[in-house]
Amino acid sequence: MIPSDNTLTEQGLPLAASKGRVLLIACGALAREILDLKAMNRWTHLDLTCLPAKLHLYPEKITAEVRAAVAKDKDAYDDIFIVYADCGTGGLLQAACDEMGVQMIAGPHCYSFFEGNAAFAAKAEDEFTSFYLTDFLVRQFDAFVWKPMGLDRHPDLRDMYFGNYEKLIYQAQTDDPALTAKAEACAARLGLAFERRFTGYGDLGTVLGSI
């Protein structure tokens, strides 16, 4: 397993690259991006297992699910790496990773590490009225935003949820005109201004490339 101090650099990189086979335990919302990175970079030493993306609707459940996944496979791999940021766990996921001796990606959420944690933090004060979507959330907008918030049944709730937002920022991992058009339509449905920001894979690619 990874050394017990499991310390990351300020950029979210492991202090020492691991060797041997590594299991990535990831949020299902990142599956496509991780598989694309694996294929592009021929990271054949990395295996991937994903937890359901809908856990993000219940962040209090994430830590226990990650613990169970690590326990299940810890003896089958040289290292395990958790591809979740804090994701609303209030530091509980990081504490669990420290206890288990595994590393995780740095940052508060995927919007931050896709942008690059340092760049996201620098803009945070000016963008606190912005709502973010990634490629995954654009594809799954109805399933992960519109319906869970009840907007399909009660569109009048739009002002309650989004009345203080001004802009939807689409963080594009890929250059896909169809996704851009869909993201712009999502902004219109929410009554928000639209900005497309091509982030690529941000810190995700850098961190995975260091394992």
pLDDT digits (tens, 9 = 90+) for 84-136: 999 999 999 999 999 999 999 999 999 999 999 999 999 989 999 999 999 99
Is the pLDDT assigned to residue 9 strictly greater than 80? no
Q: Which of 20, 40, 22, 38 is nearest to 30 (CA)?
A: 38
- The model carries a pTM of 0.86
Strand partners, 3: none
Asked if residue 64 belongs to a domain, the reply is: yes
Q: Is 20 left (phi over 0), alpha (psi -120 to 50) or beta?
A: left
CATH of residue 87? 3.40.50
Token digits of residue 15: 């202090």
Q: Could you tell me which residue, 211 or 5, shows the higher pLDDT? A: 211
Q: Could you tell me which residue, 136 or 14, shows the higher pLDDT? A: 136
Q: Three-state SS string across 87-131, please?
A: CCCCCHHHHHHHHHCCEECCCCCHHHHHHCHHHHHHHHHHCCCEE
Domain with 83, as residue range(s), is: 22-110+203-209
- Three-state secondary-structure class, residue 59: helix
Asked if residue 16 belongs to a domain, the reply is: no
Is the pLDDT assigned to residue 12 strictly greater than 60? no
Asked if residue 9 belongs to a domain, the reply is: no
Asked if residue 7 belongs to a domain, the reply is: no
CA neighbours closer than 13 Å in the CB half-sphere of residue 52: 10
Q: Tell me what the pLDDT averaged over the chain comes to.
A: 91
Q: Please indicate, yes or no, whether residues 26 and 74 belong to a single structural domain of this protein.
A: yes
Token digits of residue 3: 């050394």
pLDDT at 69: 98
Residue 174 · residue 135 · CB < 8 Å: yes
Strand partners, 46: 22
- Three-state secondary-structure class, residue 145: helix
For residues 171 and 198, what is the distance between their CA atoms, to the nearest angstrom? 6
Q: Please indicate, yes or no, whether residues 26 and 96 belong to a single structural domain of this protein.
A: yes
Is the pLDDT assigned to residue 25 strictly greater than 70? yes
Predicted confidence band of residue 19 (pLDDT cuts 50, 70, 90): low
Q: How many domains does the chain have?
A: 2
Q: Could you tell me which residue, 10 or 112, shows the higher pLDDT? A: 112
